[in-house]
Amino acid sequence: MFPVCAGATIWQVFPATNAVTQAIAKSSAGDTIEIQSGTYRENTTIDIKHSLHIRGVGNPVLDGQYKGQIMSIWASGTTISGIHFIRCGKSNLEDYAAIKVYHVNHVTISQNTFEDNYFCIFLLKSDSCIIRQNFISGKAVFEQTSGNGIHLWKSQHAIISENKIQGQRDGIYFEFVTNSRIENNISAHNIRYGLHFMFSHRNQYTGNRFTNNGAGVAVMYSNHVHMTRNVFDLNRGQASYGLLLKDISDSRINQNRFEKNSVAIYMEGSNRLTIEQNNFIRNGWAMRIYANCEGSKISNNNFSGNSFDVSTNGSEDHNHFVQNFWDKYEGYDLNHDDIGDIPYRPVSIYAMLMERIPFALILYRSFVVSIFERIEKIMPVITPVNLYDEKPLMKPVRL
Amino acid sequence: MVKRLSLIGFIGLLFLTSCSSGPKEIDWGKNACEFCKMTLMDHRFGAQIINKHGKSYIFDDIICLSGFIDAATLSSESIKCIYLIDFNGSGFIRADESVIIKSESIRSPMSSHLASVRAKNDFTTSPGDNILKFEDLFPGMELKCQ
């Protein structure tokens, strides 16, 4: 290795034992370390104690040999790019990660590749960090020895964009994270959730795709979350959801597409949500709303091809459905104002029956059920009295 | 005749399975917590209630178990037994025979910092950690485990 230019020095690193650690030891704050292509095996975790720009040239591989953490960042302003991280240690007691950032700010991690690691990028109490254009691929297949792709704990003002994450436990996990943005990522084939929020307020996620994850996306115990233009699809399984909302309040869910999920949106203990202009297409249930949800407005959405549009476990409803398009609506529009003349009741008696007796699924599309539905439509007895769309649209909303 | 016998056998089997006691095995990565709906993944944490009819309720964290009991979803008379997962990986322990530890170093799924072990010595505590018994968390609750 040798320094190339004066001022902020650029150190070139070539494959040798502990080459990266030695280069870092010689460098000073603000320097650039260029790691040339090849495979690097270090004896210990690479500790970055002063701010550095670490750049891979020709996709160099940092091999953790399953021995603990690969890189720890303790200096603000550090940037890491173009490196291929493989095989960090796996442990039940330590959350080993390919890159872990400790209590510092303005760290940028971009255009790296992660393969077969436990946790990949792990931020602890680090603010204003950027995680961009990384490719993360885990080997987790139904086993507990898998960590999360991008894991943030007690951090704020983070930007996570254009990453692709697959085969981890949770694709992206936020715990006590605020004022952050998650944009244009693809999170697929993760064992548990594509995205998982816990106690994380005032965040927004936009333009992401969450597909084929074990249980979908979970947003829990948070408020003021904005979810816009995301795609939730193919999240299938018994306890699987497109979007699971548990104790969420004052949030917006706009212009998303929910397609072919077991349950597109499952809501429990969630209040004052605005759910507008979403497409619900061919899901088992478009929405399952627990009776403890209040004050949400569900309007201008398209519901088409779902087995059940809405189901609930209570006899009353405290949410407001208005001006949605329902493909199962059978009313007329005699005054041609594009709004159906009679209200639409999206909860079918069979959906209510299913809430109480799940085994009733066996009767789906049977003659008995269609008789029930007809009778209930004329004389509502079991379905919630006040759950209806008073102005159902005759044509789908253009989205 | 054979058909009828096999039918009787099948119905008998149904009855047998519904009567089994003791904790149910957790299907990790598949079963969801009854309270918070999260999928159970971490083998060091978990809890289970068996009601008097033998139905089991699974939880990912002791805090969800206590949340479920506080919400009175299940009356305390109808609870037959509660089991907690051993932090050290030996499976379920009867809740009234376990030691519950609250420590900042424990990163449980719901951030409750709670875990359970068989005996006090099974966990190396650090200053500030609390050692609790089942009665501290659920005062007045009597289990009828067999």
Q: Which residues are paired to A232 by β-bridges? A: A210, A258
Q: Do B37 and A239 touch (CB under 8 A)?
A: yes
Q: Do B28 and A239 touch (CB under 8 A)?
A: no
Whether residue B132 is contained in a domain is answered as yes
One-letter amino acid identity for A14? F
Over residues A40-54, the pLDDT tens digits come to 999 999 999 999 999
Catalogue all structural domains in chain A, each as residue range(s) with its CATH number.
Answer: 10-214 (2.160.20.10)
Whether residue B36 is contained in a domain is answered as yes
Domain span including residue B41? 23-137
Q: Which residues are paired to A297 by β-bridges? A: A274, A320
The pLDDT, as a whole number, for residue A353 is 82
The count of residues in chain A is: 399
Whether residue B146 is contained in a domain is answered as no
Q: Do B38 and A268 touch (CB under 8 A)?
A: no
Whether residue B119 is contained in a domain is answered as yes
- B124 touching A (Cβ < 8 Å): no
Q: Do B37 and A169 touch (CB under 8 A)?
A: no
Euclidean distance between CA atoms A178 and A346, whole angstroms: 36
| pLDDT greater than 70 at residue A264 | yes
Euclidean distance between CA atoms B119 and A192, whole angstroms: 32
Best probe of the A interface among B38, B45, B63, B73, by most A CBs < 10 A, is B38
In this complex, the residue of A95, A214, A220 whose CB is nearest that of residue B36 is: A220
Whether residue B63 is contained in a domain is answered as yes
- Residue B125 phi, psi dihedral angles, 5° rounding: -85, 155
Over residues A290-300, the pLDDT tens digits come to 989 999 999 99
**Nearest-by-CA chain B residue for A236:** B30
- B42 touching A (Cβ < 8 Å): yes
Whether residue B144 is contained in a domain is answered as no
pTM summary value: 0.87
Q: Do A192 and B30 touch (CB under 8 A)?
A: no
The number of domains in chain B is 1
Give CA A354 to chain center in angstroms. 28
| pLDDT greater than 80 at residue A88 | yes
For residue A13, what are its two tokens?
Answer: 């690193």
Over residues A3-37, the pLDDT tens digits come to 555 568 999 999 998 999 999 999 999 999 999 99
Number of inter-chain CB pairs under 8 A, A vs B = 43
Q: Do B39 and A92 touch (CB under 8 A)?
A: no
| pLDDT greater than 90 at residue A355 | no
Q: Is A91 helix (H, G, I), strand (E, B) or coil?
A: coil
Whether residue B120 is contained in a domain is answered as yes
Whether residue B127 is contained in a domain is answered as yes
B144 compared with A84, residue with greater pLDDT: A84
Confidence at A70, pLDDT banded by 50, 70, 90 = very high
| pLDDT greater than 60 at residue A195 | yes
**Nearest-by-CA chain B residue for A239:** B32
